[in-house]
A and B are shown apart, each in its own frame.
Chain A
Amino acid sequence: LAKTTQPISMDSYEGQEVNITCSHNNIATNDYITWYQQFPSQGPRFIIQGYKTKVTNEVASLFIPADRKSSTLSLPRVSLSDTAVYYCLVGDIRVTGGFKTIFGAGTRLFVKA
Chain B
Amino acid sequence: DADVTQTPRNRITKTGKRIMLECSQTKGHDRMYWYRQDPGLGLRLIYYSFDVKDINKGEISDGYSVSRQAQAKFSLSLESAIPNQTALYFCATSDSTNYGYTFGSGTRLTVV
| A contact set with B: CB distance below 8 Å | 32, 34, 36, 41-46, 49, 87, 92-96, 99-100, 102-106
- Asked if B98 is an interface residue, CB under 8 A from chain A, the answer is yes
Question: Please, which residues of chain B bring their CB within 8 A of the CB of A99?
Answer: 31, 33, 45, 48, 94
- Asked if B84 is an interface residue, CB under 8 A from chain A, the answer is no
Question: Please, which residues of chain A bring their CB within 8 A of the CB of B33?
Answer: 99
Interface of B (DSSP majority class): strand
Proximity bits, B71-112, A CB within 8 Å = 1, else 0:
000000000000000001010101111111111111010000
- Asked if B70 is an interface residue, CB under 8 A from chain A, the answer is no
Contact yes or no, A44 B99, CB < 8 A: no
A94: which of B88, B96, B103 is its contact (CB, 8 Å)? Answer: B96
Given A43-B90, A99-B94, A103-B35, A94–B104 Cβ distance below 8 Å? no
Interface of A (DSSP majority class): loop
How many A-B pairs have beta carbons closer than 8 Å: the answer is 59
Having A43-B92, A99-B48, one finds 20 other A-B pairs with CB under 8 Å, namely A34-B99, A41-B88, A42-B105, A43-B90, A43-B105, A43-B106, A44-B90, A46-B99, A46-B100, A46-B102, A49-B99, A49-B100, A87-B42, A94-B97, A95-B96, A99-B31, A102-B42, A104-B42, A105-B41, A106-B42
Tally of chain B residues near chain A (CB < 8 A): 29
| B contact set with A: CB distance below 8 Å | 4, 31, 33, 35, 40-45, 48, 50, 88, 90, 92, 94-106, 108
